[in-house]
Amino acid sequence: MSAISDKIRINEKIKGKEFRIISNSGEQMGIMTAAEALEAARRENLDLVEISPNANPPVCKIMDFGKYKYEQTRKAKDAKKKQKQVVVKEVKLRTRIDTHDLETKINSIKRFLEKDNKVKVTLVQFGRERSYEEMGIELLDDVASQFEGFAEVEKRYKDAQKYLMLSLKK
């Protein structure tokens, strides 16, 4: 059994005395007792499905439950296909990076952004480099300024964490 059929009550599983009934074509059939509603559904060889259990009186619809369940699973699959998974790529920089190495890192950041990935640019500092924090922050600002028109900075560095989060501008 699927998750859809576990949540929705059909036919004899519907609890209550009176229900507002909607026909298969969408017309209001009025308020009926449980026995009358089940009989009306059986006459059409269809199921009685509880649509809105919290309404007063609860709303039920006469429909083909197998077809309804199939359509719901198709909608869920289509929605899942259309989702795009966000991938975060990370590029690490050192404070004392050479200009050519920085250009190479910037080119890889561009390549990641063009593939619709988010890029986390992390500043790594060891030992005495930590005492020259402003040099690292300057480097991160320089990287951010290189992507000013192309990408937007989602997150900037904070006190202890020195990184940028870049994503492509839409």
- DSSP code of residue 44: T
Q: Which domains does the chain have, with CATH numbers?
A: 3-80 (3.10.20.80), 88-168 (3.30.110.10)
pLDDT score recorded for residue 24: 86
Q: Is 76 helix (H, G, I), strand (E, B) or coil?
A: helix
pLDDT score recorded for residue 2: 53
Q: What is the mean pLDDT of each run of 10 residues along the chain (170 residues)?
A: 65 84 87 86 88 86 89 89 83 88 91 87 82 82 83 71 68
pLDDT score recorded for residue 41: 86
